[in-house]
Amino acid sequence: MRRDPGIWRRGLVLASIAVLLSLVMIFHAELPNDVGNLGSLTETFLPWLGLAVPLLVAGAVFRRSATALIAVLLPAVVWLNLFGGLVFDKSGTGGDLVVATHNVDADNPDPHGTAASVARSGADVLALTELKGSVVPVYEKALAGTYKYHSVEGTVGLWSKYPLSGSAPVDIRMGWTRAMRATVATPQGEVAAFVAHLPSVRVKLNAGFTANQRDDSADALGAALAAEPLKKVVLLGDLNGTMNDRALSEVTSQMRSTQGAAGDGFGFSWPAQFPMARIDQIMVRGIRPEASWTLPRTGSDHLPVAARLTLNK
């Protein structure tokens, strides 16, 4: 069989793309946010960069390029190092508190059905965000049979099977209330529960990833969490950002993601029709996550997410 001398010379462009892809994943935190928040945009969808690997493999095979095939190993290894742990089920069997959070969507056509669906989740503590004032009584009535205690502050609310106290808004620099804090008196002790709905972000051709207000609110939320005196803390809500987004570092640096620690898969929650990002978060401090999962789709454009926690770790 005659040897093909071009096997090493072909596919140099594909090899270069593979190396560039690897560098983006390795040094994503160094991508600048000065222009269109490019860094945060990349980090929001960072796991999806892995889809380029099979495309590059197909291109290398088509071009019969050994150079490209070898180069593709680099982004494959980098992706596995970053996200391989999320592919496998890390859930355990323990836990003494189940929590859930759901952005119910202000324009939800079926609030009663949505409330009934999340009530069936078995959650002991339930956070709802994007509550329209005129529809709050619908949720209160639909959830009353499952949750004896509840508190609503602005457009966010907390429902609990255990007594609530100290409910108050949390200022996240928006001009109206989209975050709150309350103490939940569980049988295992008091837990500080924060509910937050950070500002939405947009991707615009002329402005890039417009997230400045979200970033300011994340910093304010991080300050509130840092000032919390209780040792057991849970944060529930729609943060409009992923754990990879450096703009949420004031929050993520002091809280642990239940999905990353005890989830099964990536747990993408938005958009509900074809989830592409985990922007609905359950994070804890002083608490051990045992399991994390998404709940069935409701009338909202987000999926509800839930977690099982052990309070006395």
Average pLDDT over residues 208-214: 68
CB 68 within 8 A of CB 59: yes
Would the pTM of this model clear 0.85, i.e. be above it?
A: yes
Residue 32 has pLDDT above 90, yes or no: no
Over residues 60-88, the pLDDT tens digits come to 999 999 999 999 999 999 999 999 989 88
Question: Phi/psi of residue 175, each to 5°?
Answer: 95, -15
pLDDT of residue 208: 45
Side chain identity, residue 255: M
CB 71 within 8 A of CB 13: no
Is the pLDDT higher at 311 or at 208?
Answer: 311
Average pLDDT of the chain? 93
**Window from 34-38, 159-163, 235-239 with minimum mean pLDDT:** 34-38
292-to-69, 77, 149, 313 alpha-carbon distances in Å: 37, 26, 24, 17
- CA–CA separation, 251 and 135 (whole Å): 30
Average pLDDT over residues 184-190: 97
pLDDT of residue 217: 95
Average pLDDT over residues 220-225: 98
Of the pLDDT bands very low, low, confident and very high (cuts 50, 70, 90), residue 183 is very high
Average pLDDT over residues 167-177: 95
- CA–CA separation, 255 and 258 (whole Å): 9
Average pLDDT over residues 165-189: 97
pLDDT of residue 210: 55
- CA–CA separation, 180 and 137 (whole Å): 19
Of the pLDDT bands very low, low, confident and very high (cuts 50, 70, 90), residue 57 is very high
pLDDT of residue 33: 76
Of the pLDDT bands very low, low, confident and very high (cuts 50, 70, 90), residue 202 is low
Residue 206 has pLDDT above 70, yes or no: no
Angle at 240 between CA 311 and CA 213, to 5 degrees: 120
Contacts for 197 with CB less than 8 Å, ≥ 6 apart: 103, 129, 130, 155, 156, 178, 179, 237, 238, 240
Percent of the chain with pLDDT over 70: 94
Burial of 171 (0-12, 13-18, 19+ CB in 10 A): middle
Name the CATH architecture for the domain at 97-310: 4-Layer Sandwich (3.60)
Tokens for 233, please give them: 């803390």
pLDDT of residue 204: 53
Q: Dump the DSSP string for 25-70.
A: HHTGGGS--TTTTHHHHHHHTGGGGGGHHHHHHHHHHHHT-HHHHH
Average pLDDT over residues 41-61: 95
Residue 207 has pLDDT above 60, yes or no: no
Of the pLDDT bands very low, low, confident and very high (cuts 50, 70, 90), residue 1 is very low
Average pLDDT over residues 21-26: 97
pLDDT of residue 9: 84
pLDDT of residue 3: 65
Domain boundaries defined on the chain: 5-87, 97-310
Packing angle of the helix pair 12-26, 52-63 (nearest 10 deg): 160
Over residues 84-116, the pLDDT tens digits come to 989 889 999 999 999 999 999 999 999 999 999
